[in-house]
Chains A and B, each alone.
Chain A
Amino acid sequence: MRSGDYVLKRAGFAVATVFIALSINFLLFRVLPGDAASNISRVPGASPQLRQALEAQFGLDKPIWQQYLLYLKELAHGNLGVSFANQQPVWTNLSEALRNTLPMVLTGTVIAIVLGIATGVLSAVRRGTAADSMSTNLAIAFYAFPTQFIGAMLLIMFAGIFPAAGMSDPFASNASTMSHITDLSKHLFLPVLTLVLTLYGENTLIVRSAMLETLGEDQILTARAKGLPRRTIIRRHALRNAMLPTLTMIALSLGAVVTGAILVEVIFSWPGIGSALYEAVLQRDYPMLQGGFLVITVTVITINFFADLLYFRLDPRITS
């Protein structure tokens, strides 16, 4: 298989997955009976004009399959409906939330990955030593603690030292850029720390077992027999190969990142997409719920697609 074919194939898979997610969404909210207000035009307190416009846009009096087509068409135009809570278009609400979420989640995830790789590799090459068992036990502990538990503990420990909620100080709205940045990073500290602590444990365990498996392969024995220095064997022969399963695992654990991010945002009242989803659940704001589900799912699928491409660059054997 040529590289172009591979990229095309993965892209096709990503598009198909997005399509399935869209259909699940439609099925859940429009077709399945339930106590859900499946009628997306039933915006509380909406003017008759808005209601009529929505009914026409989504064809709510038409048969299901026509509704489905209309739904896809509206989605293609970025129309996710109108929020029950504030009667703004869902996309307007969500795009702002997404902008708030990204810095927090990206910082946390990157730190957790780097930390996980470092501790995982160190404990694998020092297997059986005290350092290994300490690092592994610590990783298991943090893997086991529920996110909300870690968040609550940090909140109690750092009460008064770091801000406990929100993204910025509401009383410093027209301050200079510099102080705005310090303010933001102060607010970032606890949510990011919580996310790192929740995610790093699993990453460490994944990297350690991938590394151990690679260290058991014959090529490592060969490398030793050639008399290569330990450092070279680890870097060139073990780490490179261990990175492949690690990358897959980390890409697949993106779901855990999303889970962690939602809980972290709720704990620290971070005005991101997780909080938006939570608010939508509390207020039974179905259009926001659908929109949040779609935005998160599409983001995860896109990142997975890029992970696939990266995997392809790291492992040329995939073409054969």
Chain B
Amino acid sequence: MSTVINTTDAPRADVQAGPLRAVRGMVKGTSARIGLGILLAFLIIAIFAPWLAPTDVHTATCGVFDAPSPHHWLGCDDGGIDMVSLVLVGSRISLIVGFTATLVAMTLGGTIGLLSGYFGGGTDVVLMRITDYFLVIPDLVLMIVIAAVWGPSLSHVIIVIGILLWTGTARVVRAQVKSIRERTYVKRAQTVGASNARIIFRHVLPQVGPLLIASTVLTVAVAIFDETALAFLGLSDPTAVTWGTIMEHAFDRTAISAGAWWAIVPPGLAVALVIVGCYLVGQAIEDALNPRLKVAYLSPKSWRLRPLVGRGSDAV
């Protein structure tokens, strides 16, 4: 995730109108709209999944690994359960795990980044050291160890993912808060005697808002990815229907040697789509916050406009 350099001294006008509205202004352009559309679609699917699913996900309605047919559009899994229903219902827990784990991570990362950047000094040194340690230790391995020791369950998966995914956010938030703290309007608030809490909540947090939202969206993608990985290693709740466990079941029960690609492709595509959606939205906000990305001195278009030289080829 790129660091954000914001050199303006005054609070951004759009941010003053509230971080959510500011983010809405940033999510422009085709790719950001596509991303937002994907996420909204999945949110709707997750909410209405039990009504949308054509069959029950706990009763077999067709044969083992039946191929896609007009009755069962995406075929059936190893237990004769309709894949369409599985993927629709699976969206619920997958998204819940993704969002709750992210909530844990954002609370941790946001708080640590805020405290570290705002107070500086010793607090900063200690908190950033801890962050650096967590940044280096490979996430999944520690997740595997913790999940294995605690036993497989959904709440463990959520906690484990949450307490390991906050480092990036903490660093980005810290950098941003450090620069905000030096701006004149914050200095002014300090001079007139505003308390730290008031400055943080009224002046700093709204400015960090868009960044935190970008970070959240990007973290949701990683959290969902990690859930499928943990599920694949048998560390998620085996009875819960998530995209991760659907893939794990299929893989475990020889969907591959049976050539039953339809038992793996739909949940895999669903995960990929959600991640793409998160990435497009998160990246759009980050790009909007980074003024340096707006200029491109070497873009082929502007290069061709170069008036003086009649060079033949601009090939790289």
Contact = CB atoms under 8 A, between A and B. Distances in A.
A278 interface: yes
A102 interface: no
Nearest to A225: B297
A224 to B, nearest CB: 6
B16 interface: no
B228 A297 contact: no
Of the listed residues B151, B256, B257, the one surrounded by the most CB atoms of chain A closer than 10 A to its CB is B256
Given A141-B272, A146-B247, A216-B296, A24 B316 contact: no
Interface range, A side: 35 or more
Given A156-B261, A296-B138, A300-B136, A216 B293 contact: yes
Secondary structure of the B side of the interface? helix
Main secondary structure of the interface of A (DSSP, over half): helix
B297 A144 contact: no
Interface string A147-185: 111001101100100001000000000000000000000
Contacts of A252: 135
A281 B235 contact: yes
B146 interface: yes
Contacts of A217: 292
Contacts of B17: none
A254 B138 contact: yes
Given A258-B140, A289-B145, A293-B145, A148 B229 contact: yes
A266 interface: yes
Interface stretch (B47-55, B95-103, B118-126, B298-306): B298-306
A28 interface: yes
A162 to B, nearest CB: 13
30 contacts: A32-B149, A34-B151, A125-B300, A127-B296, A128-B300, A129-B300, A140-B279, A144-B272, A145-B271, A146-B232, A146-B272, A148-B268, A209-B2, A210-B2, A212-B293, A213-B292, A216-B293, A216-B295, A221-B297, A227-B308, A227-B309, A230-B314, A234-B316, A245-B2, A255-B137, A255-B138, A259-B140, A277-B141, A281-B144, A286-B149
Interface of B: 2, 132-133, 135-142, 144-146, 148-151, 221, 225, 228-229, 232-235, 247-248, 251, 255-257, 259, 261, 264-265, 268, 271-273, 275-276, 279-280, 290, 292-301, 303, 308-309, 314, 316
